[in-house]
């Protein structure tokens, strides 16, 4: 019976798999470290909430936005507003919005997204503070700003002006 002496070339596939595995471990650890640093820098933490029997997670931060006139816009439809109006998805002409401050009801605001601008009236209270949205727009306003409804969110600037000039 002869013994087979294995050379280094017989172990090459095993070393290759070990290197790939170690690289993946390093990538995961770096990702976890960067996420941790981001969360500490911005005071963010992952929270869980229940809505209609479904659990969902969201990133929550306790830090206040730097400029209350800059923020994230979302869209909403099919609901009764605080002023008693009913929003419908097929109403393509109404530029109204929901603002977190109830004192803004009835005010006219200028909303800008890059080079596009709309003027809308505040007819509802919202969005929820914990979602860190600055304003909710009707689908018509959202489309007019050039933000796709599928995206769901868009960065906007908000002014108390009645024209886009």
Entry pTM: 0.55
pLDDT of residue 24: 94
pLDDT above 80 (res 145):
yes
Give the three-class secondary structure for 47.
strand
Q: Which domains does the chain have, with CATH numbers?
A: 1-63 (no CATH), 66-159 (2.40.40.10)
Dihedral sign (CA 105, 102, 99, 125): negative
Confidence label for 111 from pLDDT (cuts 50, 70 and 90): very high
- Sequence-distant (≥ 6) Cβ neighbours of residue 117 within 8 angstroms: 110, 111, 145, 164
Q: Is the dihedral of CA 24, 29, 30, 31 positive or negative?
A: positive
CA dihedral 26, 27, 28, 33 (to 10 degrees): 90
Most confident of the following: 30-44, 68-82, 102-116, 146-160: 102-116
Q: How far apart are CA 59 and CA 32, in angstroms?
A: 15
């Amino acid at each position: 019976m002869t013994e087979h002496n294995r050379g280094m070339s017989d172990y090459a596939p095993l070393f290759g798999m070990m290197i790939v595995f170690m690289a993946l471990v390093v990538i995961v650890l770096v990702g976890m470290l960067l996420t941790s640093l981001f969360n500490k820098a911005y005071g963010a933490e992952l929270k869980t909430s229940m809505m209609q029997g479904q659990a969902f997670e969201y990133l929550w931060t306790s830090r206040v936005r730097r400029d209350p006139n800059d923020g994230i816009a979302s869209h909403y439809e099919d609901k009764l507003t605080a002023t008693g109006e009913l929003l419908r998805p097929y109403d393509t002409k109404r530029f109204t919005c929901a603002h977190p401050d109830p004192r803004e009801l009835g005010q006219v605001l200028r909303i800008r997204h890059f080079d596009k601008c709309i003027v809308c009236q505040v007819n509802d209270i919202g969005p929820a503070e914990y979602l860190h949205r600055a304003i909710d727009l009707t689908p018509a306003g959202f489309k007019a700003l050039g933000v796709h409804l599928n995206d769901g969110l868009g960065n906007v600037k908000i002014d108390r002006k009645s024209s886009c000039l």
